[in-house]
Chain A
């Protein structure tokens, strides 16, 4: 039963990837929609970022002094000025660890 569920979930997931690439003719999308689509990264990724910072494993809001907030601020600053993905990720992780393990 679990296997069947995984296969169905996999097929659905594949359709989410394939539908717009293979089945929908791009000419159906108007110019205005195409212009809006340029915002997709900015419109999608914060929905992964914000809950990943502000909501804990139990689905509740974190305290305002949570080390994840500090880690995220460090990562944003480092990322903005360095333009380096590795530096962004590692600075965020290390500053988070420094707070939870050393302080």
Chain B
């Protein structure tokens, strides 16, 4: 059994390697906001209020391109709707928490934190206080997201665009799923999702980001049925 402090530190350490992607992306995110002509306070406030990298960039790009607020807000909602899936997975491990604690910890559910904490939860199902791991992973990601978007706002114009730092984003997620490439069922699900995302890339409101997981989960259900 782990103590709360141990779980917190394990959570922190589990996402620490992802900072090689989170920090560059945060800097890019802050820099884009300033380049598009928005005020520094506004660009930074999004990191606290929305706290979702890709959706923050899309929101500002849409508004600066002349799209209506309704379209920008809808796109943020659609892009972030994938958190519903994360929540559905995590709820198994968080169901014993009080309602207030559930409300608070939900704010920290983000991609890499979900992925790493979920891996830990699967191996340690019977641990009490599992939510401390999520607190450690999500909290670390939150802090570094704040610091890196802030740095991007301040020094972003000095970061050369040719570096292509946004490429760190797919790489961090490759690191998360690459281990499952040795399982055929997972490979089928991943390829379904990936090809669907390219096929539906031009669907309105960036909805490829939720359409393709839904298609992939249907395929996963089929695979499960065939496996029996």
- Contacts from A to B (Cβ < 8 Å): 1-10, 12-14, 16-22, 24, 26, 29, 32, 34-55, 57, 59, 61, 68, 71-72, 75-76, 79-80, 83-86, 88-90, 92-93, 96-97, 100
- Residue B143 interfacial (CB < 8 Å): no
Interface contact A39-B42, CB-CB below 8 Å: no
Distance of A102 Cα from B84 Cα, bound (Å): 43
CB-contact partner of A26 in B95, B111, B182, under 8 A: B95
- Dominant SS among interface residues on chain B: helix
Extra inter-chain contacts (18) besides given A24-B87, A29-B88, A45-B173, CB under 8 Å: A1-B69, A2-B63, A3-B42, A3-B45, A10-B49, A10-B50, A13-B76, A13-B77, A22-B106, A26-B91, A36-B220, A42-B186, A47-B197, A49-B177, A52-B173, A54-B198, A61-B198, A75-B175
Interface contact B46-A41, CB-CB below 8 Å: no
- Residue B80 interfacial (CB < 8 Å): yes
The 6 A-B pairs of least Cβ separation, nearest first, read A20-B87, A52-B170, A10-B49, A85-B17, A43-B216, A46-B194
Interface contact A85-B197, CB-CB below 8 Å: no
Residue numbers in B under 8 Å from A40 (CB-CB): 85-86, 88-89, 118, 213, 217
Interface contact A86-B171, CB-CB below 8 Å: no
Interface contact A5-B197, CB-CB below 8 Å: no
A-contact 0/1 string along B47-83, CB 8 Å cutoff:
0011110110001000100000100110011001111
CB-contact partner of A90 in B20, B83, B90, B176, under 8 A: B20
Q: How many residues of B are in contact with the other chain, CB < 8 A?
A: 89
Distance of A37 Cα from B182 Cα, bound (Å): 19
Distance of A89 Cα from B91 Cα, bound (Å): 30
A-contact 0/1 string along B151-181, CB 8 Å cutoff:
0000000000011101111111111111111
30 contacts between A and B (CB under 8 A): A2-B42, A2-B63, A2-B69, A9-B55, A10-B50, A20-B86, A20-B91, A21-B106, A24-B87, A26-B91, A26-B92, A39-B185, A41-B176, A42-B180, A43-B189, A43-B193, A43-B213, A44-B86, A45-B115, A45-B190, A46-B190, A47-B193, A47-B196, A48-B209, A50-B195, A85-B172, A89-B171, A93-B20, A93-B168, A100-B162
Closest to B210 in A: A47
Distance of A16 Cα from B102 Cα, bound (Å): 13
- Residue B226 interfacial (CB < 8 Å): no
Distance of A36 Cα from B225 Cα, bound (Å): 10
